[in-house]
Amino acid sequence: MRVTMFRKAYSVGGVLLQIEFLTQFYVIAASMFTTTGKEVAGAANAEVMPTTVQNVEFFSAVHAANGVFVIPPTILILICLSLGARYPWRTTGLTVLLLPLLVIQFALAVVGFLGVPAVAGLHGINALILVALGGWLTWRNWAFGQRATAAHLASGSVESP
């Protein structure tokens, strides 16, 4: 029964992680369009620019805060839940892989701030890898509904789903 609880919590945590990743994409896109709007407005609309700059700072700050303070703990919790759920080592290993990918993500962001855009552009590609891996792990280990019951019965476990 306890393993089932951990598996359901892993599924919920996986969905939460995907929402956090989508939030990252949303706020960075909002930041980009705000920056573009600022450039278009230019000197012709001088009174619009301070508001635009504030919006960029807000969206960039949300992107940074989510990436530093929200996503890492979620990944650490998923790792613990994977262990508690007694998933195969492959699943736990792939869940752990999210952590070094996140460290690479931080490093690529730092490279971007140092002014090396050709390398910093890999930040977006690495983000897609994080989203794909997190989504695949969530989908593959989904612990709710008929699919979970079928997987549970196929495993030969005697505990109820």
In a domain, 158, yes or no: no
In a domain, 31, yes or no: yes
Q: What is the pLDDT of residue 158?
A: 43
DSSP the chain: -HHHHHHHHHHHHHHHHHHHHHHHHHHHHHHHHHHHHHHHHGGGGTTTHHHHHHHHHHHHHHHHHIIIIIHHHHHHHHHHHHHHTT--HHHHHHHHHHHHHHHHHHHHHHHHHTT-HHHHTHHHHHHHHHHHHHHHHHHHT--SHHHHHHHHHHTT--S--
Q: What is the pLDDT of residue 146?
A: 75
- Count of structural domains within the chain: 1
In a domain, 159, yes or no: no
Output the tens digit of pLDDT for each of the chain's 161 residues. Answer: 789 999 999 999 999 999 999 999 999 999 888 766 666 666 455 565 566 555 667 889 999 999 999 999 999 999 999 999 999 999 999 999 999 999 999 999 999 989 999 999 999 999 999 999 999 999 999 999 877 666 655 655 444 44
Q: What is the pLDDT of residue 50?
A: 60
Q: What is the pLDDT of residue 31?
A: 87
In a domain, 81, yes or no: yes
In a domain, 160, yes or no: no
In a domain, 161, yes or no: no
d(C-alpha 161, C-alpha 150), whole Å: 10
Q: Which of 69, 62, 71 is nearest to 13 (CA)?
A: 71
